[in-house]
Amino acid sequence: FPKRLSSPDGTPASPLQNPTHTYAVGDYTATVTASDGTQTATDSIAILVNAVVLPAQCTSYTEINDSTRNINNADQIPLPCDDTLVEKWYRFTAPGNTTIPTSPPLMDRCQTDATGWMNFAHPAVAGETRTGNVCYHWGIDCAWSNQIDVTNCSGYYVYKLKPSPTCPLRYCTTN
């Protein structure tokens, strides 16, 4: 876009330093003004907007930023457990990892004994929600399980988690 700009007198404009951009999507025009205010140009542009209306859970969730849930953390005493977790929407954030793994982590990781992982894929499309099982690895890949929902929030996931079936079982995270 800046390569096609012209000064008000019609001569090609030099590259603008520190421009401000104002986009009017309705009439598809853009105004670019240099920081000194001397070079202004208006040109037609094409703006393609792919709007996805995300579900409410993408803005209404509880954050879990617990780095001990990482699949590389060994178990330690006391062993945290998710059996008292309240059923609602959660988002895993830094400094912990941000997604539940989709393959079984080793036992005795995530600072627990039986490690929780999803046995289904994360939704690929923004706004999509999937339902599936979380399995808890203890001797076998799916010694216990419970159902959860996962929503793709266009850049991150939120999970409708339920309490784990017993202790010490815990949802694990990875990147």
* pLDDT tens digits along 43-62: 554 444 457 899 999 999 99
* pLDDT tens digits along 161-173: 999 999 999 999 9
Sheet with 114-118, edge to edge strand ranges: 62-64, 88-92, 157-161, 140-152, 129-138, 114-118, 169-171
pLDDT at site 75: 72
Going by C-alpha positions, the residue among 115, 123, 124 that lies closest to residue 159 is 123
